[in-house]
Structure 1
Amino acid sequence: MDQLDSLYHVHIAELNRRVAEVTRRENFAGVVIHSGQPHRQFLDDMNYPFKVNPHFKAWLPILDNPNCWIIANGVDKPILVFYRPVDFWHKVSDVPDAFWTAHFDIKLLTKADKIAEFLPKDLSNWAYIGEHLDVADVLEFKSRNPDAVMNYLHYHRADKTQYELECLRRANKIAVRGHKAAKSAFFNGGSEFEIQQHYLAEISQGENEMPYGNIIALNQNAAILHYMTLAHVKPKQRLSFLIDAGASYHGYAADITRTYAFEKNRFSELIAALNLQQLAIVDAMKPGVKYTDLHIMTHERIAQLLIDFELAHSDVAALVDSGVTRAFFPHGLGHMLGLQVHDMGGYSHDERGTHIPAPENHPFLRCTRTLAANQVLTIEPGIYIIDTLLNDLSDNAKQLVNWQTVDVMRPFGGIRIEDNVIVHSDRNENMTRELGLD
């Protein structure tokens, strides 16, 4: 028996417990979770790739079937209304028969617009959870994504069950294989497009199965934080390679980044130095530590690297206070990871949804929580040569930048190193490293 079988039993019990607690507290009879519906492309007869509601896939790994529904009150056995139409145009999903099916009362829906026949007769005190509020209106739900329920579920989503942790490990294991294949393709002379194909072939997942669009950036393209072009033409000179690529397992995401230099040089030394700092930041994670404090500490470490590699001068405090470090490292340290790449709940500090935003000077930080056991986060410091940000520095701050070194580093683009880490009560589990990616 797969380990997931026994872990899932505890997982579904926890989800039922959460639903029972929040519906009792908010006086709801239960929740009705909609997997979603296809979105039609504008002026076309084709749909966009279907993306399932993350609240739905928290319960079971049905990722590609729209028009499904979960009906749960936390006490009775939850009902899965599984969409299985009569259709000769498309492949119809098989009736579920997997490790999770024993935990649901499964009913088959052949026509999407007949779902009302399967729902509770009186929906006045049931909460609809999903994207399609127009459908909820037609069905006469009075409560659609109620804040109190959503805030509670999002807050607790940070507390991963053992089943979820195992799914995240398996997603990382798949992604690590892809990263190794992509690294080989880079050093063997592949274009960005070719490297992407090697990655996808190695992990056996198509682009629509991936948790996000991979970033495959050669040379100066690595300075574009969300570079998505995938050039077919190989660069005349091969300097650097940044890959930000993940994988999925049962709907849970891996999100890993590595940067490589084609030759041994000052840029490769900077990669090695940032790698050591990244590992030190991971070591600083533990229950009770504020993620915001880790982010601020990262800026101090980045400042020291800028001094060590003569990208800037002065002292650490001056480089942080002047905004120089933000020009070289403009994004957040990382984010929560799970059912979504940027998992919900990163700013939630209690079950009521009390929101603590990112610090004013660090608006792109995606998590302000205090760390606790069983949380999963990414740690992804970076150093980039982004001319628009450097040019926007104040005149005084510009005087702290060593522009000659910036000119030398500019063709390499930038560096980002990202691992996926589980916080345990007594240690950190760096899934990415422990599963074999240096």
Structure 2
Amino acid sequence: MSSRSDFLPPVRHYAAHVETLTRNTVERLAQAGYDRLLIHSGRSHARFQDDYHAPFRAHGHFVHWLPLPSHADCLLEVRPGRKPTLWLNEPDDFWHAAATPPEDWWADAYAIETVRSADDWAHVLDGDRATALIADPVDFPDLGARADLNPADLLWRLDEDRTVKSDWQLDCLRGASRRAVAGHLAAGEAFDGGGSELEIHLAYLQAAAHDPNDLPYNSIVALNEHAAVLHYQLRDAVAPETHRTFLIDAGAECHGLAADITRTRVRSREGLFADLLDAMESLQLQLVERMQPGMDYVAMHQEAHRGVARILHDAGLVKMPVDAMIEDRITSRFYPHGLGHHLGVQVHDVGGRVAPDGSPLPPPDAHPFLRLTRTLEEGNVITVEPGLYFIPSLLQDLREGGFADRFDWKAIDALIPFGGIRIEDDVVVRRGGAPENLTRDAFAAAE
């Protein structure tokens, strides 16, 4: 049985990670006209008319610095010429377990002040320095003139720095991939054994050594037609009478950085759906190989649509030329989401729709759900996740419209109980060679 420590990376790059962050942040502060930066980790809030708190996860900019994704009400200060200072909140609380003590490998990079509550660091906000505070506005309603909250001219610069990952972060992403792959392999075995969605989910958690509260996102564990619900959030405890297909979109975290992996399996390797799965696997691998510096990700998304159009055409499901399918947005009914997104301390990491100079890069009107619209750079970590689904609500107007006779509805209706296909890898953009496929590398190492 795996333990969490089995997936942790070496710590050799962490000091260099903080040194680079400090240097870059000081430069960003000067560019935006500030003397210091404060980053709040976030605050746990009770549900409405309840004393129960949802699981806490620290804000992305805090986790970008510190491997403390579960520590609430901490404060980090960054100032030129000084070691970053961390006010580490460790409440004297008999209701909950104590936080893990600081470990030398990361603590040595900071001047640490241990406090018992946020009140103990509130004075840090005072002073005559030009201060920027990165935090949730809900937690600082009365900030007034003490600091500028989330100033746009600074925030986009800090977001931009997060789009290129350090060696330390890449090590963490590799660790998260290994952890997620262990879960995916166990989930596949549970599907092969006829498990329910809940049983498959539990197998995933055990193999990945993950508590569900610590997952980077709510896992999608979908059998049969449930695979056509893009963010399927339920987990039936009773197994269906027939296991046709299984789609799992499940990740893991390592020191706060996330893996985001999707796989689709089919019970029988005979039949049209299995052929479509093989074709989508080939398309996905072709797209991954194109992820090079200088590549326009919007163009890659459009190439994915052309690939889906060819698959639909070659399978005889749509009797239209590829160009006509693209022009009439037919593929968007079978592939309604974006090709991928940035990945890091947030699953949908920042900066995806903003140019390096801070100007907006909105998605094309034809593809409003695309989360990444930039030109790729070396060191970007992105997901590549084309899909092909049979969603009745998206197909209904095609059945009733002017193109109805151009579809093989008998074949499509036979595919609806299979749900759909999504294949997703996490990829590091590299210069002068093939991209690093974190997901495929982790699968290869585990097999």
**TM class by smaller structure:** over 0.9
- Cα distance in 1, alignment partners of residues 403 and 80 from structure 2: 57
Matched, 1:349 2:365: no
Matched, 1:376 2:381: yes
CA-CA distance at 1:320 after TM superposition: 1.1
Matched, 1:385 2:394: no
Query: What residue in structure 2 maps to residue 32 of structure 1?
Result: 38
Q: How does 1:85-234 map to 2 (within 5 A)?
A: 85-117=91-123, 119=124, 121-122=126-127, 125-135=130-140, 137-138=142-143, 140-234=145-239
Contact 1:136 1:144 in 2 (8 A): no
Query: What residue in structure 1 maps to residue 85 of structure 2?
Result: 79
- Cα distance in 1, alignment partners of residues 283 and 80 from structure 2: 45
Q: How does 1:230-309 map to 2 (within 5 A)?
A: 230-265=235-270, 266-309=272-315
Q: May I ask how many residue pairs the two structures share in their alignment?
A: 435
Which runs of at least 4 in structure 1 moved beyond 6 Å after TM superposition? none
Contact 2:63 2:345 in 1 (8 A): yes
Contact 1:29 1:126 in 2 (8 A): yes
- Cα distance in 1, alignment partners of residues 395 and 104 from structure 2: 54
Query: What residue in structure 1 maps to residue 421 of structure 2?
Result: 415
Cα 1:123–1:257, aligned 2, differ >3 Å: closer, same or farther? farther
Can you list the C-alpha shifts for 1:374-407, whole angstroms capped at 9, x where unaligned?
1011000111001111123472333332211101
Cα 1:307–1:377, aligned 2, differ >3 Å: closer, same or farther? same
CA-CA distance at 1:208 after TM superposition: 0.8
Cα 1:123–1:363, aligned 2, differ >3 Å: closer, same or farther? farther
Contact 1:222 1:414 in 2 (8 A): yes
CA-CA distance at 1:94 after TM superposition: 4.1
Q: 1:434 aligns with which of 419, 422, 441?
A: 441
CA-CA distance at 1:113 after TM superposition: 2.0
Mean Cα displacement is larger for which, 39-48 or 169-178? 39-48
Contact 2:125 2:146 in 1 (8 A): no
- Cα distance in 1, alignment partners of residues 404 and 426 from structure 2: 34
Contact 1:173 1:435 in 2 (8 A): yes
- Cα distance in 2, alignment partners of residues 3 and 335 from structure 1: 24
Cα 1:120–1:384, aligned 2, differ >3 Å: closer, same or farther? closer
CA-CA distance at 1:159 after TM superposition: 0.8
Contact 1:38 1:48 in 2 (8 A): yes
Can you list the C-alpha shifts for 1:170-228, whole angstroms capped at 9, x where unaligned?
10111011000000000001000000000000011111100000000000000000101
Q: 1:311 aligns with which of 309, 314, 317?
A: 317
CA-CA distance at 1:40 after TM superposition: 0.5
Matched, 1:60 2:53: no
Query: What residue in structure 1 maps to residue 3 of structure 2?
Result: none
CA-CA distance at 1:132 after TM superposition: 3.8
Q: Find the residue that maps to 1:107 and give its secondary structure.
A: strand
Query: What residue in structure 2 maps to residue 42 of structure 1?
Result: 48
Superposed CA RMSD in Å reads 1.6
Can you list the C-alpha shifts for 1:127-148, whole angstroms capped at 9, x where unaligned?
0101145426347533000001
- Cα distance in 2, alignment partners of residues 196 and 242 from structure 1: 12
TM-score w.r.t. the length of structure 1 is 0.96
Q: Find the residue that maps to 1:100 and give its secondary structure.
A: helix
- Cα distance in 2, alignment partners of residues 417 and 13 from structure 1: 37
Contact 2:220 2:248 in 1 (8 A): yes
- Cα distance in 2, alignment partners of residues 240 and 365 from structure 1: 26
Contact 2:126 2:146 in 1 (8 A): no
Contact 2:36 2:129 in 1 (8 A): no
Cα 1:58–1:123, aligned 2, differ >3 Å: closer, same or farther? farther
CA-CA distance at 1:3 after TM superposition: 6.7
- Cα distance in 1, alignment partners of residues 381 and 403 from structure 2: 36
Query: What residue in structure 2 maps to residue 14 of structure 1?
Result: 20
What 5-or-longer segments of structure 1 have no aligned partner? none
Percent of aligned pairs sharing the same letter: 39
Give the partner amino acid of 1:72.
V
Q: Find the residue that maps to 2:55 and give its secondary structure.
A: coil
Matched, 1:424 2:430: yes
- Cα distance in 1, alignment partners of residues 71 and 263 from structure 2: 33
- Cα distance in 2, alignment partners of residues 242 and 120 from structure 1: 48
Contact 2:176 2:259 in 1 (8 A): yes
TM-score w.r.t. the length of structure 2 is 0.94
Cα 1:3–1:300, aligned 2, differ >3 Å: closer, same or farther? closer
Contact 1:278 1:379 in 2 (8 A): yes
Cα 1:414–1:171, aligned 2, differ >3 Å: closer, same or farther? same
Q: Find the residue that maps to 2:104 and give its secondary structure.
A: coil
Contact 1:312 1:402 in 2 (8 A): yes
Q: Find the residue that maps to 1:211 and give its secondary structure.
A: coil
Contact 2:137 2:149 in 1 (8 A): no
Can you list the C-alpha shifts for 1:277-299, whole angstroms capped at 9, x where unaligned?
10001111111110000000011
Contact 1:158 1:345 in 2 (8 A): yes
